[in-house]
Structure 1
Amino acid sequence: MISNNAVPSQSDDFESIESHTTAPGAGAYLPPSDDRHRKAAIQYGKLVAEVRSLPGFESFMRSKKLSALLPSSICFSGPVVFINVDRDRCDALIILPEGTITALSLSELSLDKAEALRSQWLLYLKQQHVRERSLATQITRSSSGSPPVRILDRLWRWIVGPVLSALGMDVINAARERLPHITWCPIGPLTQLPLHAAGIYEDDAGPRVYNLVVSSYTPSLSALTRSLDDLAKHSATPHILVVTQPDTPGLPPLPGTTVEGLRLRDVFQSSEAPSTALDGEHATISAVKHVLGEYSWLHLACHGSQDVNDPLKSAFALYDGPLSLSDLMATTADNAELAFLSACQTAVGDEKIPEESMHLAAGMLAVGYKGVVATMWSIRDDDAPLVVETYYRKLLELRALGMLEKGETGAAYALHEATKRLREEVGESDVVRWAPFVHFGI
């Protein structure tokens, strides 16, 4: 819509014409009897052309060019890979840090194959009873030829392997001081599959993506660019708010969140990082909203819920009710930087609408956080404390040693270290335990 303050005459005309018609697509059929509609459509086209002739409105109602979607002052920390899945063909569009873009045909992948993988993966998760963060449950370890091993094998062969090969990242480079960073932006059914865990697990010496790169995700290019540009404007000194909810009324208990909170207290005290903890009955909606604007980092250890009909109503379960994304949007600090969502399924959208990135992690990026750690499926209550403690210790260490490059928060590398520690603890075959944790943004 045109601002009334910018061009009042065109704005009034535009609203008048829009009340009679919407912009028709090229070649749209209009019945001969619909003269008023046709006349309005012609006026609409002329008005759009007139607006585009005005200084500053050259791109009015046009798709943005790639240059307009890239960060204005900071390069990406590594390649950004968009995985496009369509009936006709599947491709990876790779944007390199300097802004150049290349297309890679994924000839082994198809939409039918992607949908089949998603269905198989969701069935496997359902069989593992990992739909909510919970106490320890019986989980079947993955063996050679088991469903998760086959799925991760295909993710490697059809998608991740070809992309890393094209980037020259498919072999371990001992000369590198650290692993390269890559950001994945899948669409459709691939949004619910763990690209960051792809590999040939039937071969002990086979490739595993986590040995080659540090993986992050983004719901869109604009979300990633916005995070980078905002990080450049707000250099945040970490002030951390920790919210733990071990016994939310009406929901299953999460005693591990108490352990989580105690470990975080020790981590932050030893590093002298300023923090505040709200636990149990003290973690109410009003209490969190009252102080949230003072903290650049937010850690939420609780149950979470997603509302696919109204994403702003997706929420975290506090002691006296849900803290929604709309609540966070109104109270989040201007210099908000990192959020850790130690809740259930915070990085997976609706199974019925896999094309949409409608989940809590994407929502937290939208309300202003630059980087978000979330989970693609639910985690075990006793795994979270280990991951959380390792993550924050590594994150604070990276910052204290000045090991971050421009445009980095350190969250991706810290989570990589934390999931490595959990993988070593539970074994590589327990994919469902070490692989749910993912990083979004920067």
Structure 2
Amino acid sequence: MEDFDRALRAGRVEEALRIATTRTEASREPDGAANSGLAEALILLARAYVRVNKLREAIVIAQEGLAVDAQLDGRCEAEFRIVIADAYERLDELERADEQCTLTTVYMRRIVPSTPIQPVVYANSMRHAMVAARVSERRGRLLGAARLLDSALRQTELASDPRFIRSAEIAEVHERLGREYVHLLHLHRGRIARKLGDPTTAENMIEVAIAGAEELDDTESLMHAYLERAQLAAAPAVACAHVLTALRLHEAQVGEIRQDELRVAVRLSREALFALGVDTAFFAGAIEIAWRLIEHARARVFRARMLPEAPDAIQDNAPMPPPTDVERLAEQYTQEPTDERRDELMNALWQREQLALPPSEADAVPDWVLPGEDAHWLPGPGTGVLEFFVAQEEVYGFLLHDSRAQHVYRLGVSASVLFRRVSRLRELIEDPDDDEAALSEQAQQLSQWLVGPHADGIMELDRLVIIPHGVLTYLPFSMLPLNERPLLEYVELSYAPSASILEVLLRRAVPPVRTATVFADPHPNDDLLGLPDARAEGQQIALLLSTDALVGARATKAAFRVAMSGVDVLHLACHANFDQHQPRQSALLLADPTDPRLPAYITVDELSDSCLDAQLVVLSGCQTGLADLAPGGELDGLVRAFLVAGARSIVASQWRVDDTSTADLMTTFYERLAAGTGAAEALRAAQLEISNSLEFSHPYYWSGFAQFGDWRLTARPS
């Protein structure tokens, strides 16, 4: 197990997972019989899955291990229950985690002999103490967590004492195990001390943890230790320095992972790391560093797959962020934490950004100006970019436009409150018969936070590109009121996953878009899947684009595969299935040639691995724009899949759209598009036309569609 533990400590999760998988496969008997080798291998596999954030899978593997162990001698029960508790705690299912901790305690009290403690029991007691303390901490039992950790630390002192451990061999093993676990115990105890308001104890514990992690090359623990240092730092600039160090350790680990899925999973488990980095950089007044961290955190795997030809500065293996004088001083301070180094770093932060110290906490919406040189990528005159970042404690907004009047502000609202407001607005908007007064109230409050601080700047723009983050990905900005009218009435709206992706898309020349293929109503005879209005919609659009509409049984997966090559526009008027638990299995539903009553699925995974010639993709179906949220905005959804496959511009819906209003909206959209209007402006015209009708004026009918990517594409018929 030593090679496995070394890989985990160093953050080489891909290697650890490979070791565990190989051992598990080698240990499985052909007849499925239980054996001790299989139980031990399953322990490693479950631990590896926890570290790569596959928590449900880890629980399943550990439960399988418990069943195998029950057929043997039951010696591994503690290891499996510790892993299950760890996974439940990370899933925020604290009652279940607590239950597993209790069962582990009962089991260990039953098996601990009066004779000298065996090494496996000693190791389990250390792991159990750390997981149980973390669960207690999360449930508000800080003193209980501290007692657990203090008891474990005393055990490390006694574990090799000849008065208690009479075997020299066991004492030697205990001493080695103590070195492997004592720095982890100090790290956890330091965090508890900080939360209990005891900074002196916390600082002492963290220093011991850092020394032990460096000695063992435990980069995972070292990263968390520097985050604790950041939380303890009295000066914001010092905290920023420590967070940057932790982020560098994180990037070094993730840079060794080659599998996209694992890389995203590991980032998901550490999404709070970048959020803390942005918070501390803002509080330190280091706005440029905060901006670069935000861009660096956004959709990096997405970016690397979608834009392999992009400059090194935005490639997935690029340094984060590129070294500057400020960061060099931060690095020096972490190596030599003297008052002189601290003052040098703080002065450099203020001078580098040419900013005053941040306003007091009493100011609800403090303003800063983003340095002009960071805005070199901005699109042309009349276009602004409104970018958001949801951090741990704050929500930040940036408005950047060609006049270089860039503003950065704190929303003055917590991420949790924002989540509740957006969720409530979505509930109200998706039911047009619901309380319109409540919908208006929610929209007005969100607009006040998100759009209000920039109202004057937005009124001067022709186009606004929105780069959402977190829960804001699910918000229809087009219906938010500005001066009592929807935002869409003032500006053309477009969306992008990040500023760096937007830059590369706009750097490319606008291609001619002439040929098209239309798919519509793949299941006309099915009461649930049938889309009768979509058939007429598809035929009308095909006429506008001078092409043929593949409807009913002709709208097959095979036909879609053919259309992916050599067609400029793909229109898909079909259902989409969004899988919240496995977003990469979300899919478009086309016709099955063997049985027209059954759907044929085209999943996100399949699309992401495909090569698409279409420049414009229109998803005129239900929930086609929905996505699951991964770290930094890694959208695992159909929009993301089509962008990765090669599309330049996508129009998609964000909720279950109305069949009739969508048919009208799409017809107007393509009429404008065929006349030479750009995709975003064509969509805006169609939405405004629908919103001004008596029947479909409610935002449910028109605000659910959004345009992503390059807004300039048109579709003149060949």
Q: Which residue of 1 aligns with 2:471?
A: 189
What secondary structure sits across from 2:217 in the alignment?
Answer: helix
- Give the residue type in structure 2 aligned to 1:116: R
1:430 and 2:698 are equivalent in the alignment: yes
Q: Which residue of 1 aligns with 2:10?
A: 21
Q: Which residue of 2 aligns with 1:278?
A: 550
User: Would you say the 8 A contact 1:92–1:105 is kept in 2?
Assistant: yes
Task: After superposing the two structures, state which structure 1 stretch, 250-259 or 238-247, moved more.
Answer: 250-259
CA distance in 2 between partners of 1:344 and 1:221 (Å): 28
What secondary structure sits across from 2:536 in the alignment?
Answer: helix
Counterpart of 2:413 (choices 106, 109, 112) is: 109
CA distance in 1 between partners of 2:645 and 2:669 (Å): 23
Structure 1 pair 338/426, CA: closer, same or farther in 2 (3 Å)? farther
Gapped regions of structure 1 (runs ≥ 5): 1-16, 49-55, 129-138, 174-178, 270-274, 400-409
What secondary structure sits across from 2:647 in the alignment?
Answer: coil
User: Would you say the 8 A contact 1:375–1:438 is kept in 2?
Assistant: yes
Offset, 1:433: 1.1
What do the CA deviations read for 1:419-441 (whole angstroms, capped 9, x no partner)? Answer: 01111124675111121111111
Larger Rg: 2
Offset, 1:153: 0.9
What do the CA deviations read for 1:338-368 (whole angstroms, capped 9, x no partner)? Answer: 1110011122234899965333223222221
User: Would you say the 8 A contact 1:109–1:159 is kept in 2?
Assistant: no
Structure 1 pair 72/153, CA: closer, same or farther in 2 (3 Å)? closer
| Within-5 A mapping of 1:383-398 | 383-398=661-676
CA distance in 1 between partners of 2:633 and 2:318 (Å): 23
Q: Which residue of 2 aligns with 1:322?
A: 601
Q: Which residue of 2 aligns with 1:289?
A: 561
What do the CA deviations read for 1:377-408 (whole angstroms, capped 9, x no partner)? Answer: 11111111111110011112125xxxxxxxxx
Structure 1 pair 311/71, CA: closer, same or farther in 2 (3 Å)? farther
Q: Which residue of 1 aligns with 2:18?
A: none
Structure 1 pair 439/64, CA: closer, same or farther in 2 (3 Å)? farther
Offset, 1:217: 1.4
User: Would you say the 8 A contact 1:411–1:439 is kept in 2?
Assistant: yes
Q: Which residue of 2 aligns with 1:223?
A: 501
1:374 and 2:667 are equivalent in the alignment: no
1:415 and 2:683 are equivalent in the alignment: yes
Offset, 1:268: 2.1
- Give the residue type in structure 2 aligned to 1:37: D
Q: Which residue of 2 aligns with 1:299?
A: 571
| Within-5 A mapping of 1:176-255 | 180-199=462-481, 206-229=484-507, 231-232=508-509, 235-247=511-523, 251-255=528-532
Identity between Structure 1 and Structure 2 (%):
22
- Give the residue type in structure 1 aligned to 2:319: R
User: Would you say the 8 A contact 1:71–1:225 is kept in 2?
Assistant: no
CA distance in 2 between partners of 1:287 and 1:41 (Å): 52
How many residue pairs match? The answer is 372
Offset, 1:251: 4.0
Q: Greater relative contact order (Cα 8 A, min sep 6): structure 1 or 2?
A: 1
Q: Which residue of 1 aligns with 2:320?
A: 63
CA distance in 2 between partners of 1:277 and 1:71 (Å): 43
What do the CA deviations read for 1:197-241 (whole angstroms, capped 9, x no partner)? Answer: 1116xxxx7243122111111222233234223x42x62332111
Offset, 1:283: 1.1
User: Would you say the 8 A contact 2:544–2:674 is kept in 1?
Assistant: no
CA distance in 1 between partners of 2:615 and 2:662 (Å): 21
User: Would you say the 8 A contact 1:376–1:436 is kept in 2?
Assistant: yes
Q: With structure 1 as the length reference, what TM-score do the two structures score?
A: 0.72
What secondary structure sits across from 1:346 in the alignment?
Answer: coil
User: Would you say the 8 A contact 1:106–1:162 is kept in 2?
Assistant: no
What do the CA deviations read for 1:136-167 (whole angstroms, capped 9, x no partner)? Answer: xxx41764xx22111111122121122232x1
What secondary structure sits across from 1:395 in the alignment?
Answer: helix
Q: With structure 2 as the length reference, what TM-score do the two structures score?
A: 0.46
User: Would you say the 8 A contact 2:10–2:219 is kept in 1?
Assistant: no
The root-mean-square deviation of aligned C-alpha atoms, in Å, is 4.1
1:140 and 2:454 are equivalent in the alignment: no
CA distance in 2 between partners of 1:163 and 1:329 (Å): 36
What do the CA deviations read for 1:170-212 (whole angstroms, capped 9, x no partner)? Answer: 3xx7xxxxx7110111222222222221116xxxx72431221
- Give the residue type in structure 1 aligned to 2:408: L
User: Would you say the 8 A contact 1:246–1:257 is kept in 2?
Assistant: no
CA distance in 1 between partners of 2:446 and 2:670 (Å): 30
User: Would you say the 8 A contact 2:610–2:645 is kept in 1?
Assistant: no
CA distance in 2 between partners of 1:39 and 1:268 (Å): 57
